[in-house]
Amino acid sequence: MASRSTQRSALMSIRPQFANAILDGSKTVEFRKRVIANDVRRVVMYTTSPVQAVVGEFTIASQVVASPKALWRRFSRVAGIDRAAFFKYFDGSTDAVGIVIDSVVEYKTPRSLDDVEPGARPPQSFMYITAA
């Protein structure tokens, strides 16, 4: 019996201004409070309100775990976020994650969340999905 291989992806909620910056190439690192599993290479971008659609995807080049201060020093030029908002997001965190973006694909037509993961609700940060 032949089996079909599947690979996990991450479905990530991203605010419209940050999703647009990723799509136009001005933001090349996405910041999170937790690491994405090592077997995940593809991130599907769900853009939050008012868009509420899946607009594209990117591949992960690497993930950098460091203090928020060290991450800001390393990535501030390509962060797509201002310093105050960055440090507010990581307030109280000793570790921060920088997901370095490799290639980006913008979908010609935004997709509904249900088209990508039937029955899914927008994740608070990200969730794992299986892509065939």
> Domain span at residue 113?
7-131
Q: What's the whole-model pTM score?
A: 0.91
| pLDDT per residue as tens digits for the range 2-18 | 444 568 999 999 999 99
Contact assessment for residue 74 and residue 67, using Cβ atoms and an 8 Å cutoff: no
Mean pLDDT, to the nearest integer, of 23-40? 96
What pLDDT is stored for residue 32 in this prediction? 97
Q: What is the CATH number of the domain that holds 41?
A: 2.30.130.30
Would residue 1 count as lying in a domain? no
Would residue 24 count as lying in a domain? yes
Contact assessment for residue 44 and residue 129, using Cβ atoms and an 8 Å cutoff: yes
Mean pLDDT, to the nearest integer, of 100-109? 97
What pLDDT is stored for residue 131 in this prediction? 66
Would residue 2 count as lying in a domain? no
Would residue 119 count as lying in a domain? yes
Torsion-angle region of 67 (φ positive above 0: left; ψ -120 to 50: alpha; else: beta): beta
Percent of the chain with pLDDT over 90: 88
Mean pLDDT, to the nearest integer, of 88-116? 96
Residue 48's CB is within 10 A of a number of other CB atoms, namely 14
Residue 33's CB is within 10 A of a number of other CB atoms, namely 13
Would residue 81 count as lying in a domain? yes
What pLDDT is stored for residue 34 in this prediction? 95
Taking Cα atoms as reference points, which of 114, 109, 116 lies closest to residue 132? Answer: 116
Mean pLDDT, to the nearest integer, of 77-104? 97
Could you give the number of structural domains in the chain? 1
Q: At 119, which amino acid appears?
A: G
